[in-house]
Structure 1
Amino acid sequence: MNPSKLSLFFTLSLIFISQAYGASLFEGLCAATVEDSARCLQVLKADPEIASAKNDLQLCKLILKFGLKKATEAQNYLKDLAKTNPAPAIQECATIHYDGVVGSFKSALGELVDDSMTSNYDAKVAGDGPNTCNTALAKANINDPTITALNKEISLISTIAFLATNKLP
Structure 2
Amino acid sequence: MNSSTICSLFLGLILISQSPFAANATLLGLGGGGGPLVSLICAASSNKVECNKVLSSPQITQAKNYKQLSKAITEIAMKKAVEGQAFLKGLAQKSKSEGLNICADSCYSSVVRDFKSCLDFIDGDPDTLSYDCKVAVDEPTRCDSAMAANHIVNPAVTALNRQILFLCELIFKTIDKLPNH
TM-score in terms of structure 2 length: 0.77
Counterpart residue type for residue 74 of structure 2: L
Counterpart residue type for residue 115 of structure 1: D
2:141 aligned to which of 131, 135, 144: 131
Structure 2: where are the runs of 5+ without partners?
1-22, 31-36
User: Matched residues in 1 for 2:143 and 2:55: separation?
Assistant: 23
Structure 1: where are the runs of 5+ without partners?
1-17
The alignment-based identity, stated in percent, is 39
Alignment of 1:29-68 (within 5 A): 29-33=41-45, 35-45=46-56, 47-68=57-78
Alignment of 1:4-43 (within 5 A): 21-22=26-27, 23-24=29-30, 25-33=37-45, 35-43=46-54
The corresponding residue for 1:9 is none
- In 2 relative to 1, CA 149–44 (structure 1 residues): closer, same or farther, beyond 3 Å? farther
Counterpart residue type for residue 43 of structure 2: A
User: Matched residues in 2 for 1:153 and 1:164: separation?
Assistant: 17
Greater radius of gyration (CA): 2
Alignment of 1:18-167 (within 5 A): 21-22=26-27, 23-24=29-30, 25-33=37-45, 35-45=46-56, 47-167=57-177
The answer to whether the 8 Å contact 1:123/1:161 transfers is: yes
CA positional deviation for 1:117: 2.2
CA positional deviation for 1:114: 1.0
- In 2 relative to 1, CA 40–104 (structure 1 residues): closer, same or farther, beyond 3 Å? same
The corresponding residue for 2:14 is none
Counterpart residue type for residue 53 of structure 1: A
CA positional deviation for 1:70: 0.7
Local SS of the residue matching 2:47: helix
Q: Which runs of 4+ in 1 moved over 6 A?
A: none
The answer to whether the 8 Å contact 1:121/1:162 transfers is: no
User: Matched residues in 2 for 1:44 and 1:91: separation?
Assistant: 32
The answer to whether the 8 Å contact 1:101/1:126 transfers is: yes
User: Matched residues in 1 for 2:116 and 2:73: separation?
Assistant: 12
CA positional deviation for 1:64: 0.9
CA positional deviation for 1:123: 1.4
Report how many residues are paired: 149
Counterpart residue type for residue 38 of structure 2: F
User: Matched residues in 1 for 2:39 and 2:78: separation?
Assistant: 21
